[in-house]
Chains A and B, each alone.
Chain A
Amino acid sequence: MSEMTAIPLENSAPPHPLKEFWKYFSENKGAVVGLYIIVIAIFLAVFADYIAPHSPFDQYRDAILQPPVWMDGGSSKFLLGTDAVGRDILSRLIHGARLSLFVGVIVVTLSLAAGIIFGVTSGYFGGVYEILIMRLMDIILALPSLLLALAIVAILGPSLQNAILSIAVVVLPHYVRLTRASVLSEKNKDYVTASRVCGSGPFRMMFAVLLPNCMAPLIVQATLGFSTAILDAAALGFLGMGAQPPTPEWGAMLANALQFVQSAWWVVTFPGLAILITVLAFNLAGDGLRDALDPKMKR
């Protein structure tokens, strides 16, 4: 008996949610690596002006297609070599990180905000409004994302802004469906009924009572949404339908690299590697988040 009373009281209190979250998240090594890469990418993007050794637009006419530093003919002035007009590839990649993360942030913010509004209202009100919204989302889903994005860009004209807008539209259905599904599963729970009995109005019900309990899948989807946004923006840039030259966007950098495949591999390799690493980091972190936030997955 005496042993039982010796158990300290603090142990019975549940751990802080953030602490608990980190415990589960850090179990997944890949997710932690992904998170580190994201932090580094954010750091590079924010301080690009100070970190990049050169301006991303300066053309060094005496150093055209110079190979990276470790190869014959490379110089420490251009660590990853130069492109066809003598611009430093490393500097362009660092500035490209800023652009790619910017695209990710804007796309995710736009589609998340619109997706939450459409999803919560259609789940809450139901009826004809819900059918209309969901059918519209079905149509968007029926089209391959890149094709629809291309169609929107075809209407609006190729530019980075229009690429962002079109990607936001293309990924919207995922957020709408996810939010609606969570709202539907939460809607009939006791705490919601209790809040209704207390006299909460529709606005309060939707955004203060229901929404916070639907956030977990949305956070995961938003993280994964970053990778989709970055990948699609790069694809549009590559096809000449996104960021226009001389913008140091990773996809656009690859667009005219096609003709140097045979002569200068570094022009082709590094921008793609940057895309792959960033996208992979967000996917890893997103997977880890899903494991940490989804109670069903907790071991």
Chain B
Amino acid sequence: MVQFFFRRFFHVFPAFIGVTLLTFSLIHLIPGDAVELRAGERGIDPVRHAEMKAEMGLDKPLHIQYFRYITNVFKGDLGKSYVTKKPVLEEFLTLFPATLELSLCAMMFAVLFGLPAGVIAGVKRGTPFDHTIMTVSLTGYSMPIFWWGLLMILFFSVFLGWTPVSGRLSALFWIEPQTGFMLIDTLRSDEPGAFKSALSHLILPSIVLGTIPLAVIARMTRSSMLEVLKEDYVRTARAKGLSDRRVILVHALRNALIPVITVIGLQTGVLLAGAILTETIFAWPGVGKWILESIGRRDYPAIQGGILIIATLIIFVNLGVDILYGIINPRIRYTH
């Protein structure tokens, strides 16, 4: 097991180096150089230009610059934002809980509805119920979620008036961020109604962000169930006279879950990309919206840092899924 763990871990290392190379080259690929970029349209005289270049270390050879970049990355220094002048890591960390809270709720929504839907569709294969679930999930899979979000706002917020249009909390409340998770912070505060407000702000964005993962999980669970239900051990379980419920939930589902867990892990990337769109629509103050705004402001250190952290996160989530996979299924540990 330990050996398996380390083997996987070293597999991850080249990917991480690759990502740092990518984010490092980002700043060198933009037309013009970083100094001109900061000077803006006003221009800059050549002497000052050279000075600033030396200050920023841009006059050194590329490999030295890269070495310096990666040493700083390991020290947790991702540079300072051109706009706010604050360290990029700090900015990211203040906004990240909002994105994490949204993503977790979206994933919960997706698993809570996707898994049962997939199981039932698989068990009742070929029935109208199965066809409906598959059609709905293919529609969800094809959904432009930025439009889906607008539709949800149109219906639930504007037409029915059930949920707020945007933001994380009603302006009536002011909650000092402690954990950064609005649900926890409002629960711990004494303000009556704050928790309800936070929850109602969270519902629509979670549904919108969870739609594509929901569709993917439902489809995957169904096909995985179909695969497993054909197995001999399921027939044996039935032959033993076990109830349908027990055969499906214990004997079939547990084995069918293995590929589903991988798919859930792979959805992390989908969620973080979807967060960019969802946060933009709902004015959700998270990292997705922040990266998009940084691109709009040409705030390159922020873009670089944001991409690096998100990619690293995804790499490690995939590593975690891989290891989990090995724990659940011993066959995987010993092959390869």
Contacts and interface: CB of A to CB of B under 8 A. Distances in A.
B276 interface: yes
B194 to A, nearest CB: 26
Interface string A277-290: 00110011001000
B200 interface: no
Contacts of B31: 157
A151 B307 contact: yes
A261 B19 CA distance: 39
Contacts of B276: 146-147, 150, 239
A145 B150 CA distance: 22
A254 interface: yes
A154 B26 CA distance: 9
Interface in A134-183: 135-136, 138-139, 142-148, 150-151, 153-155, 157
A227 B165 CA distance: 29
B151 A280 contact: no
B161 to A, nearest CB: 11
Contacts of B144: 231, 234-235, 238, 251, 272, 275-276, 279
Interface stretch (B64-72, B237-245, B289-297, B327-335): B289-297
Contacts of A217: none
A272 B151 contact: yes
Q: Range of interface residues on chain A?
A: 35 or more
A234 B142 CA distance: 12
A150 B298 CA distance: 12
Contact of B146 (A138, A150, A238): A238
Contact of A142 (B26, B281, B318): B318
Interface string B25-37: 0100111000000
Contacts of B141: 283
A241 interface: yes
B15 A268 contact: no
Contacts of A262: 158
A189 B75 CA distance: 51
Contact of B281 (A143, A150, A258): A258
Given A147-B272, A239-B276, A261 B150 contact: yes
B23 to A, nearest CB: 8
A136 B272 contact: no
A237 to B, nearest CB: 10
A206 to B, nearest CB: 26
A81 interface: no
Contacts of B318: 142
B22 interface: yes
A269 interface: yes
A147 B150 contact: no
Nearest to B292: A239
A271 B158 CA distance: 19
Contacts of A150: 276, 291-292, 295
Contacts of B135: 30
Contacts of B272: 144, 147
B121 interface: no
Contacts of B146: 234-235, 238-239, 251, 254, 272
A92 to B, nearest CB: 15
Contacts of B281: 258
A138 B12 CA distance: 10
Given A144-B314, A272-B144, A272-B151, 13 more contacts: A138-B15, A142-B18, A144-B269, A147-B291, A147-B310, A150-B291, A238-B277, A239-B292, A257-B150, A258-B150, A269-B154, A279-B143, A287-B138
Interface of B: 14-15, 18-19, 22, 26, 29-31, 135, 138-139, 141-144, 146-148, 150-151, 153-154, 158, 165, 269-270, 272-274, 276-277, 280-281, 291-292, 295-296, 298, 303, 307, 310-311, 314-315, 318
30 contacts: A30-B138, A139-B19, A142-B19, A143-B314, A144-B314, A146-B277, A147-B310, A148-B307, A150-B291, A154-B295, A154-B303, A155-B26, A155-B29, A155-B30, A227-B142, A234-B146, A235-B144, A235-B146, A240-B296, A241-B295, A265-B154, A268-B147, A272-B148, A272-B151, A275-B144, A275-B147, A276-B144, A279-B144, A284-B138, A287-B138
User: Which 10 A-B pairs have CB atoms at the shortest separation, nearest pair first?
Assistant: A272-B147, A144-B273, A139-B18, A146-B273, A280-B142, A279-B142, A144-B269, A154-B295, A275-B144, A238-B146
